[in-house]
C-alpha cells in the first residue's frame, strides 16, 4: 500500500471485567463511608474486583482474544503488542510478553507502557505512528489494570474509587479519511507527587516496614488530582479538536476517562455536550485506570452507540501526571 493512502484505525475491540461486584453497600461495611457520599461525590455505585488469583495478564489476554475475533484477525498476524498498565504481573518480564505467549502472537514484538489512566490513548498514539510509517500492519493495544491489588482497603479516600478491568483494540490500516485522525499526549512530572505508589521500586524496595506501612498502595491527593483533571480535560480536548480542524459541535460521541462524574460533567458543560453524546459507565465499574476509556470504547461500539462515520473524541488523564486525547472517525 503506498504511503498516505491509508490511516491507522481500529479494526476490532474487546473487553474483560471480573464477575465479582463490590457495591457501595459492601464498602459501608469496610470503611467509614456511605452510598450517599460515594454517589454524590463520584457517581460510582459498584466496581468489579479480580479474585486473588486473577492477574492483569489474564484480563488483558481475555480482552485481546475478543478484539482479535471482532477484527477477524489471527494472533499470528499481530506485529506488535503494547500493554498499558500500572499493575503489571511482575516488574519483569513485561505483561505484554506474557500476553504474547498466552495468545500465540509469535510474530509480534511486545512491550509495556506505564502512563496511568492515559495509557490507552498513549498506546493508540504509538500504534498509529508504527502503522502510518509502514513499519507494522496490525498492532494489539491493551489497557489493563488490577488496581484492587494496590489499593489500601482501609483508606476511604481512595478505596471507593477504583475497579479492575481490561480493554483491547486491534489497530491497523483503514481507508484514508477514517480512523485515528490525530492524537495529543502530554505529561507534567512535577505533579507526580499527587498520585503515586511509594514502595516497590528502586527508591524504596520492598521491606517489612514498607509492607507494614502500606506503602505498596495508591497514595493520592484527591483534590489536587481533581483540579488538574478538570483543567486538562478541557485543554486536551480543545488541543485535539484544533489539531483535527474540528469544533465541539462536530463531536458525535465523547468518551472521557471514567474517574469522577463531576469531572466529566465539568467537561460536558464547557463543551456544551448533551447526555446522548457522552458515554458513561463509571457507575458500574469505577475508575479502572487505563482500562476505563478502552472498555468504554468497546461497550459504546458493541451497544451500537458508535456508528460508521461518527466522530469520537476520547480524553484521559492520570498518574505521571499525564494526559492524552484522540479523535477517531469510526470506520466499522
If one asks whether residue 117 binds ligand ACO (CB under 6 A), the answer comes out as: yes
DSSP state of 303: T
Closest to 171 (Cα-Cα) out of 294, 266, 289: 294
Residues 160-189 interacting with ligand ACO (rule: CB under 6 A):
160
Is 287 one of the catalytic residues? yes
Size of the site for ligand ACO (CB under 6 A): 22
Q: Please identify which residue in 22, 142, 195, 300 interacts with ligand ACO, judged by CB under 6 A.
A: 195
Is 13 within 8 Å of 168 (Cβ atoms)?
yes
| ω into 93 cis (within 30 of 0) | yes
Closest to 252 (Cα-Cα) out of 190, 287, 304: 304
If one asks whether residue 42 binds ligand ACO (CB under 6 A), the answer comes out as: yes
Burial 159-178 (b: 16+ CB within 10 A, else e): bbbbbbbbbbbbbbbbeeeb
If one asks whether residue 33 binds ligand ACO (CB under 6 A), the answer comes out as: yes
Distance CA 223, CA 243 (A): 30
- Which region among 221-229, 247-255, 267-275, 291-299 touches ligand ACO (by CB under 6 A)? 221-229
If one asks whether residue 267 binds ligand ACO (CB under 6 A), the answer comes out as: no
If one asks whether residue 229 binds ligand ACO (CB under 6 A), the answer comes out as: yes
Identify the H or E element spanning 199.
none
Distance CA 64, CA 83 (A): 10
Shortest spacing between CB 159 and ligand ACO, in angstroms? 7
Which residue lies nearer to ligand ACO by CB, 119 or 172? 119
Q: Please identify which residue in 9, 12, 88, 116 interacts with ligand ACO, judged by CB under 6 A.
A: 116
Shortest spacing between CB 91 and ligand ACO, in angstroms? 18
Q: Is 206 helix (H, G, I), strand (E, B) or coil?
A: coil
Is 257 one of the catalytic residues? yes
Which residue lies nearer to ligand ACO by CB, 152 or 157? 157
- Which region among 4-12, 31-39, 56-64, 308-316 touches ligand ACO (by CB under 6 A)? 31-39
Closest to 321 (Cα-Cα) out of 198, 224, 204, 217: 224
Residues 124-163 interacting with ligand ACO (rule: CB under 6 A):
156-157, 160
DSSP state of 218: -
Is 125 within 8 Å of 188 (Cβ atoms)?
no
Annotated catalytic residue within 138, 257, 281, 310 = 257
Q: How far apart are the first and last CA of the chain?
A: 20
Which residue lies nearer to ligand ACO by CB, 78 or 295? 295
Shortest spacing between CB 319 and ligand ACO, in angstroms? 4
Distance CA 299, CA 326 (A): 18
Q: Please identify which residue in 289, 301, 310, 326 interacts with ligand ACO, judged by CB under 6 A.
A: 289
If one asks whether residue 325 binds ligand ACO (CB under 6 A), the answer comes out as: no
Q: What angle do CA 70, 71, 75 make, to 5 degrees?
A: 105
Shortest spacing between CB 8 and ligand ACO, in angstroms? 26
Neighbour-count burial of 21, counting CB atoms closer than 10 A to its CB (0-12 exposed, 13-18 middle, 19+ buried)? middle
Task: Report the residue closest to ligand ACO, judged by CB.
Answer: 222
Is 194 one of the catalytic residues? no
Distance CA 46, CA 5 (A): 45
If one asks whether residue 244 binds ligand ACO (CB under 6 A), the answer comes out as: no
Kindly state the cell numbers that stand for 30. 469496610
Annotated catalytic residue within 24, 97, 117, 244 = 117
Chain contacts with ligand ACO (rule: CB under 6 A): 33, 37-38, 41-42, 116-117, 156-157, 160, 195, 222-223, 225-226, 229, 259-260, 287, 289, 318-319
- Catalytic (active-site) positions: 117, 257, 287
Amino acid at each position: 500500500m503506498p504511503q498516505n493512502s491509508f490511516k491507522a484505525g481500529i479494526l476490532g475491540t474487546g473487553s474483560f471485567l471480573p464477575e465479582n461486584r463490590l457495591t457501595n453497600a459492601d464498602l459501608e461495611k469496610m470503611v467509614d463511608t456511605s452510598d450517599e457520599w460515594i454517589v454524590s461525590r463520584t457517581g460510582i455505585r459498584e466496581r468489579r474486583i479480580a479474585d486473588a488469583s486473577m492477574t492483569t495478564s489474564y484480563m488483558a489476554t481475555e480482552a485481546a482474544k475478543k478484539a482479535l475475533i471482532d477484527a477477524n484477525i489471527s494472533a499470528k498476524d499481530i506485529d506488535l503488542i503494547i500493554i498499558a498498565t500500572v499493575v503489571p504481573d511482575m516488574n519483569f518480564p513485561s505483561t505484554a510478553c506474557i500476553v504474547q505467549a498466552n495468545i500465540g502472537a509469535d510474530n509480534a514484538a511486545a512491550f509495556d507502557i506505564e502512563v496511568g489512566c492515559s495509557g490507552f490513548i498513549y498506546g493508540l498514539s504509538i500504534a498509529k505512528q508504527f502503522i502510518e510509517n509502514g513499519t507494522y500492519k496490525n498492532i494489539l493495544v491493551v489497557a489493563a489494570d488490577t488496581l484492587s491489588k494496590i489499593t489500601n482497603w482501609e483508606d476511604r479516600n481512595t478505596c471507593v474509587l477504583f475497579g479492575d478491568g481490561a480493554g483491547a483494540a486491534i489497530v491497523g490500516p483503514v481507508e484514508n479519511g477514517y480512523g485515528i485522525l490525530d492524537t495529543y499526549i502530554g505529561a507534567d512530572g512535577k505533579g507526580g507527587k499527587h498520585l503515586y505508589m511509594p514502595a516497590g521500586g528502586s527508591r524504596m524496595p520492598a521491606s517489612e516496614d514498607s509492607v507494614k506501612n502500606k506503602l505498596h498502595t495508591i497514595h493520592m491527593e484527591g483534590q489536587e488530582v481533581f483540579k488538574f483533571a478538570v483543567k486538562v480535560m478541557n485543554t486536551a480536548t480543545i488541543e485535539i479538536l484544533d489539531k483535527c480542524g474540528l469544533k465541539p459541535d462536530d463531536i458525535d460521541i465523547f468518551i472521557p476517562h471514567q474517574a469522577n462524574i463531576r469531572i466529566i460533567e465539568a467537561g460536558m458543560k464547557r463543551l456544551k455536550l448533551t447526555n446522548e453524546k457522552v458515554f458513561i459507565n463509571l457507575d458500574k465499574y469505577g475508575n479502572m485506570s487505563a482500562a476505563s476509556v478502552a472498555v468504554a470504547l468497546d461497550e459504546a461500539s458493541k451497544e451500537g452507540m458508535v456508528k460508521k462515520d461518527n466522530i469520537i473524541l476520547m480524553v484521559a488523564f492520570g498518574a505521571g501526571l499525564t494526559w492524552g486525547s484522540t479523535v477517531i472517525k469510526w470506520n466499522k
